[in-house]
């Protein structure tokens, strides 16, 4: 069976059917290019011969088209010779020319979008004169290349700019926007919706029959780009502002860590000033440049392949999907209430329990406030969600729950009492999950009569928004419990990573290293502004000092005291870290307990932006700031996290690089341009990373000493997978 079939109906409409052999999703690889060139050449001949009234593109798969062949992009070198660049340019042009020829055949061209069409798949749709999509909540269309460090390279920028104008196109392209069917119709990405495939075919063909003279807008005489072109002498005020201030905004928002948004802005600007064929060549050159980018390779590997593997259940036991209907939440504070909202939003019943009815009702009130703030939830939707949340103080109401999540204080005794209370009220098959960020699950399971049903589910705050759930298996946790927790996380729209039990698990121990390293640099007398800016230049959303201010020094102080008490109870003594020393001084000496308490490392004026507390210099660098290379500051903040991730893998806490990469980005804000803690090492070069880590250890402390696993992998020239 060939990739493309051409089938002519009795009305003279030729159906071009994409049906790539041996795969479930059509992709834009070399076999596509060859098939498309041949198919369009045959179409052109048939049109020339007469009797063809139009062309209708559709898919023979459940989805329309999956985009470009990203596996081949990972093999592209980081540099091209001039000869290689010319060869690559020609290959990209080969993929684009059939689409240009298709839209200029001289007959109407429509497409039926029966499932998601993203990236290259939607670029095919843009080359059609009319787009009909099935009205399904599962269907998405768009050009998300920016989310993978790329830009649309098969005419997507040229056509989007001409279809929508620069003011609309640039924000959509630079953010990698995707739209569900109804939103796509509203915004003009598709022209019609259909209830099913039969209606989709009928509407598309009816449009072809009714529009024999159809052409692309940009092929009409006198066409002008909506909103104007940069070449126009009389630009609109909005367009002029976009052209002059837009690039500054891009640079400020990315700190130059993400080349794709910058390239997209420049490409869109340039293609809007020239004719279509010249614009195609410009787009190809920008795409060619991004192909060689290490950032693109990092993001493709993690956000496409590894995230895809996780979402497809690579870490999940091979068991049937869990049948879930009723979920219990213990603790109606912000975390518990946020989880309750997320559960109810999916249509599951929720029992939200606290020590008294007033607290439980307050938790439901939090969920009501979330509904009110969410513009996508109308009154009927809010009523449905809140109707599924049952606030209570009675443990008996937990009867019939499939899984109960406790979200109470990080205190072993309280959690043990809650576990006993839950197990007395639920059936023997119910899973009990502890929402804890650091307490070992195996130890917490000692309070359970059914430790095989006990598991950790570490949600991140605010739970209704954060995309990650860290699932922790204790020593006796069963595969069935793990599968159930995994299924619930996915039902909530979260990405679940799976790790094994240890103090701090994976995310908490990794983020703890950069907070501690930031504290160590403060105690060394390094300017806090440089520390925070180094994190931002790395690509982190906030610096380590801002992060602990948000958590609050008070919370960190209490957690530190709890960890020390836990260690002493086991006959151990924890070494006092730089973070513990600094937080202790901030709380005890200066009463600087964090943002929620009026100020910590930062001051938070009522009017104006936050600023570093002047006392940071007075108390920690009274004789002037210590100077070290800025590159060292940047590396200290990144290397400490990746080294700790390697230690966690060495200890068996995390088994797959995918879980570590995705968890570090989605859970703790590791710079996404790096691809995560393990991909950062891969891209740096494992041997070079180990050598640089050893250099940092000699300068700044044993925390940077490379683990043996790192040296072993460097010796084998292996990568983390």
Q: How confident is the model at residue 596 (pLDDT cuts 50, 70, 90)?
A: confident
| pLDDT (0 to 100) of residue 668 | 92
The answer to whether 619 is a known catalytic residue is: no
| pLDDT value at 414 more than 60 | yes
| pLDDT value at 253 more than 80 | no
Q: Please classify residue 345 by burial: count the beta carbons closer than 10 Å to its beta carbon, then call 0-12 exposed, 13-18 middle and 19+ buried.
A: buried
Q: What is residue 501's three-state secondary structure?
A: coil
| pLDDT value at 501 more than 50 | yes
Q: Which residue segments constitute the domains of the chain, with CATH numbers given?
A: 4-215+224-292 (3.90.226.10), 326-502 (3.40.50.720), 508-652+685-716 (1.10.1040.50)
Q: How confident is the model at residue 570 (pLDDT cuts 50, 70, 90)?
A: low
In the chain, the percentage of residues whose pLDDT exceeds 90 is 81
| pLDDT (0 to 100) of residue 661 | 98
| pLDDT value at 562 more than 70 | no
| pLDDT value at 566 more than 70 | no
In the chain, the percentage of residues whose pLDDT exceeds 70 is 98
Q: Rounded mean pLDDT of the chain?
A: 93
- Average pLDDT (175-192) is 96
Element (H, E) at 147: none
Catalytic residue among 129, 130, 269, 458: 458
Assess contact for 44 and 1: CB atoms under 8 A.
Answer: no
| pLDDT value at 567 more than 70 | no
| pLDDT (0 to 100) of residue 618 | 94
Please write the tens of the pLDDT for every residue from 131-161.
Answer: 999 999 999 999 999 999 999 999 999 999 9
Please write the tens of the pLDDT for every residue from 427-480.
Answer: 999 999 999 988 899 999 999 999 999 999 999 989 999 999 999 999 999 999
CA angle 324, 440, 475 (to 5 degrees): 70
| pLDDT value at 572 more than 70 | no
- Average pLDDT (506-512) is 91
Cα dihedral: 393, 395, 398, 403 (round 10) = 100
Please write the tens of the pLDDT for every residue from 21-70.
Answer: 988 889 888 889 999 999 999 999 999 999 999 999 999 998 899 878 88
What are the C-alpha distances in Å from 690 to residues 5, 681, 697, 699, 716?
A: 53, 9, 10, 14, 13
| pLDDT (0 to 100) of residue 1 | 47
Range list of H helices, 492-629: 507-523, 528-538, 544-551, 553-569, 578-588, 615-620
Assess contact for 477 and 441: CB atoms under 8 A.
Answer: yes
| pLDDT value at 169 more than 70 | yes
- Average pLDDT (221-233) is 88
Nearest to 132 by CA among 74, 199, 72: 199
Q: How far is 192 from 185, CA to CA, in rounded Å?
A: 7
| pLDDT (0 to 100) of residue 573 | 66
| pLDDT (0 to 100) of residue 649 | 97
Q: Please classify residue 213 by burial: count the beta carbons closer than 10 Å to its beta carbon, then call 0-12 exposed, 13-18 middle and 19+ buried.
A: exposed
Q: How confident is the model at residue 205 (pLDDT cuts 50, 70, 90)?
A: very high
Please write the tens of the pLDDT for every residue from 323-379.
Answer: 999 999 999 999 999 999 999 999 999 999 999 999 999 999 999 999 999 988 999
- Lowest mean pLDDT: which of 248-257, 336-345, 705-714? 248-257
Element (H, E) at 105: none
DSSP labels, 270-326: HHTTS-HHHHHHHHHHHHHHHHT-HHHHHHIIIIIIIHHHHHTTTTS-S-PPP---E
CA angle 363, 365, 366 (to 5 degrees): 65
């Amino acid at each position: 069976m060939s990739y493309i079939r051409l089938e002519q109906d009795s009305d003279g409409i030729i159906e071009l059917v994409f049906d790539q052999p041996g795969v479930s999703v059509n992709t834009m690889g070399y076999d596509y290019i060859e098939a498309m060139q041949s198919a369009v050449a045959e179409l052109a001949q048939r049109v020339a011969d007469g009797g063809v009234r139009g062309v209708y593109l559709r898919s023979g798969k459940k989805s329309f088209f999956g985009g470009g062949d990203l596996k081949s992009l990972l093999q592209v070198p980081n540099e091209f010779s001039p000869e290689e660049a010319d060869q690559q340019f020609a290959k990209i042009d080969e993929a684009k020319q059939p689409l240009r020829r298709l839209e200029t055949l001289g007959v109407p061209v429509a497409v039926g979008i029966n499932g998601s069409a993203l990236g290259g798949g939607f670029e095919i749709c843009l080359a059609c004169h009319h787009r009909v999509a099935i009205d399904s909540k599962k269907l998405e269309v768009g050009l998300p290349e920016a989310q993978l460090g790329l830009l649309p390279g098969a005419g997507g920028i040229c056509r989007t700019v001409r279809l929508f104008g620069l003011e609309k196109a640039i924000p959509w392209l630079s953010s990698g926007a995707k739209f569900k069917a109804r939103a796509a119709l509203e915004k003009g990405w598709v022209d019609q919706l259909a209830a099913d495939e039969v209606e989709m075919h009928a509407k598309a063909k009816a449009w072809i029959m009714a529009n024999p003279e159809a052409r692309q807008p940009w092929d009409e005489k006198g066409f002008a780009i909506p909103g104007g072109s940069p070449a126009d002498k009389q630009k609109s005020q909005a367009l002029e502002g976009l052209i002059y201030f837009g690039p500054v905004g891009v640079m400020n928002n990315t700190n130059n860590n993400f080349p794709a948004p910058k390239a997209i802005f420049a490409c869109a600007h340039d293609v809007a000033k020239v004719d279509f064929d010249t614009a195609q060549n410009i787009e190809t050159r920008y795409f060619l440049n991004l192909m060689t980018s290490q950032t693109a390779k990092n993001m493709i590997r993690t956000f496409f392949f590894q995230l895809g593997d996780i979402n497809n259940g690579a870490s999940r036991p091979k068991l049937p999907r869990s049948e879930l209907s009723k979920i219990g939440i213990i603790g109606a504070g912000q975390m518990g209430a946020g989880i309750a909202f997320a559960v109810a939003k999916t249509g599951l019943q929720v029992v939200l329990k606290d020590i008294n009815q007033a607290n439980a009702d307050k938790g439901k009130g939090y969920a009501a406030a979330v509904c009110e703030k969410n513009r996508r939830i109308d009154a009927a939707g809010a009523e449905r969600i809140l109707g599924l949340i049952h606030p209570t103080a009675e443990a008996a109401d937990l009867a019939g729950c499939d899984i109960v999540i406790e979200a109470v204080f990080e205190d072993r005794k309280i959690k043990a009492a809650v576990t006993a209370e839950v197990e007395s009220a639920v059936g023997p098959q119910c899973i009990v999950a502890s929402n804890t960020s650091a307490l070992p699950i195996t130890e917490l399971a000692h309070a359970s009569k059914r430790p095989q049903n006990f598991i950790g589910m570490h949600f991140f705050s605010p739970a209704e928004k954060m995309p990650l759930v860290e699932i922790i298996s204790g020593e006796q946790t069963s595969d069935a419990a793990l599968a159930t927790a995994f299924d619930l996380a996915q039902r909530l729209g979260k990405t679940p990573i799976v790790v094994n039990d240890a103090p701090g698990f994976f995310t908490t121990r990794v983020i703890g290293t950069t907070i501690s390293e930031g504290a160590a640099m403060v105690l060394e007398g390094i300017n806090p502004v440089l520390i925070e800016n180094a994190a931002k230049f790395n690509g982190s959303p906030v610096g380590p000092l801002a992060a602990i201010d948000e958590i609050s020094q008070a919370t960190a102080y209490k957690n530190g005291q709890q960890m020390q008490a836990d260690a002493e109870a086991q006959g151990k003594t924890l070494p006092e870290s730089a973070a513990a020393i600094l937080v202790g001084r901030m709380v005890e000496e200066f009463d600087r307990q964090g943002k929620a308490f009026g100020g910590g490392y930062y001051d938070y004026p009522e009017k104006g932006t936050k600023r570093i507390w002047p006392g940071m210099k007075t108390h920690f660098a009274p004789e002037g700031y210590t100077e070290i290379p800025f590159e060292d500051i940047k590396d200290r903040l990144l290397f400490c996290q990746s080294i700790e991730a390697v230690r966690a893998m060495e200890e068996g806490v995390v088994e797959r690089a995918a879980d570590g990469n995705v968890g570090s980005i989605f859970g703790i804000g590791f710079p996404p341009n790096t691809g995560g803690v393990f991909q950062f090492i891969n891209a740096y070069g494992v041997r070079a990373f180990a050598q640089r880590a050893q250099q940092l250890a000699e300068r700044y402390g044993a925390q940077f000493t490379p683990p043996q696993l790192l040296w072993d992998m460097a010796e084998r020239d292996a990568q983390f997978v």
